[in-house]
């Protein structure tokens, strides 16, 4: 008991922030046209795997049959690349039978992403999900971060000068996009999603150019009006590049004739 108290004293509530549209996100489930349960290999985290191993229901038996152990435990997709638990109505059998709490970490998180700062966590929605893309692009005002929860973390560190400078720089980039319209919301999304990783790799200039390049690719051929068209372009790009480390790295390091609006970097 005393040990637990001592441990608790070393932990501290870390605020979690997210864009204000985040709370309005609901998976479109059966109505989704591009389900993330098709075509994506889904790894099962060790904690969930352990829970699944102890399930003795018919679903538990199916879970044991449909998870391959190598190279890391993952759901075995069908010949059509569908998750084995995706029903014909495009609903998740695990949720239907056991509830959302039974999902593995990746399924519970998607399409959310997290950026970890020393003193706060920032969450967002990734555009590979069509519903998230629609929500982001139709947000009626510039990005507003609001506190959504608190997480118990070890005593947060005080941000270093470099970290504060990075966040200030990121926030200035966001402020510079304080316009209305889907193109502005798309640029904000890219800044919010990709700049924070410079905290780990220090590649502020490359990441700034990545935002510009991704924006250029996502809006190529767009008529400047149709939100569904832009959402679809963004969804495809996000799906193919933002979730593929190799392609993201290529975009980060790309050189050539391309000029950014931030050539002073
Ligand atoms: S892509 Fe988004 S809306 Fe579609 S099934 Fe996945 S989380 Fe739900």
Give tens-digit pLDDT for 108-165. Answer: 999 999 999 999 999 999 999 999 999 999 999 999 999 998 888 777 788 999 999 9
Chain centre to alpha carbon of residue 73: 21
Nearest CA to ligand 1 atom 8: 27
SS3 breakdown of the chain: % helix, strand, coil, rounded to 5?
50, 15, 35
Residue 65 CA to ligand 1 centre (angstroms): 25
Report pLDDT for 178: 75
Residue 130 CA to ligand 1 centre (angstroms): 7
Residue 133 CA to ligand 1 centre (angstroms): 10
Ligand 1 atom having least distance to the Cα of 111: 7
**Ligand 1 lined by 27 (C-beta under 6 Å):** yes
The answer on pLDDT for 217 being more than 90 is: yes
**Ligand 1 lined by 129 (C-beta under 6 Å):** yes
Neighbours of 64 (CB within 10 A): 12
Question: What are all long-range contacts of 23-29, with beta carbons under 8 Å and residues at least 24 apart?
Answer: 23/148, 24/135, 25/125, 25/131, 25/132, 25/135, 26/131, 27/129, 27/131, 28/130, 28/131, 29/90, 29/91, 29/92
Residue 37 CA to ligand 1 centre (angstroms): 8
> pLDDT tens, 150-170?
888 777 788 999 999 999 999
Report pLDDT for 85: 96
């Amino acid at each position: 008991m005393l040990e637990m108290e001592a441990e608790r004293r070393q932990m501290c509530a870390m605020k979690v922030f997210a864009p204000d549209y985040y709370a309005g996100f609901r998976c479109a489930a059966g109505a989704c046209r591009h389900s993330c349960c098709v075509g994506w290999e889904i790894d099962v985290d060790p904690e969930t795997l352990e829970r699944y191993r102890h399930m003795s229901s018919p679903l538990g038996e199916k879970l044991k049959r449909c998870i391959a152990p190598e190279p890391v435990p993952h759901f075995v997709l069908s010949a059509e690349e569908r998750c084995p638990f995706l029903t014909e109505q495009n609903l998740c059998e695990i949720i239907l039978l056991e509830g959302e709490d039974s999902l593995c970490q990746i399924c519970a998180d998607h399409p959310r992403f997290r950026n970890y700062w020393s003193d706060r966590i920032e969450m967002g929605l990734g555009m590979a999900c069509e519903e998230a893309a629609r929500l982001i692009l139709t947000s009626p005002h510039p990005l507003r971060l609001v506190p959504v929860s608190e997480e118990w973390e070890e005593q947060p560190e005080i941000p270093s000068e470099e970290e504060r400078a990075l966040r200030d720089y990121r926030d200035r980039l966001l402020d510079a996009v304080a316009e209305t319209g889907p193109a502005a919301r798309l640029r904000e999304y890219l800044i919010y999603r990709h700049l924070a990783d410079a905290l780990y790799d220090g590649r502020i200039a490359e990441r700034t150019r990545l935002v510009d390049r991704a924006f250029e690719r996502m809006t190529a051929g767009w008529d400047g009006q149709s939100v569904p068209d832009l959402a679809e372009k963004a969804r495809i790009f996000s799906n193919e590049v933002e979730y593929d480390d190799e392609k993201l790295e290529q975009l980060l390091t790309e050189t050539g004739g391309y000029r950014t609006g931030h050539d002073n970097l």
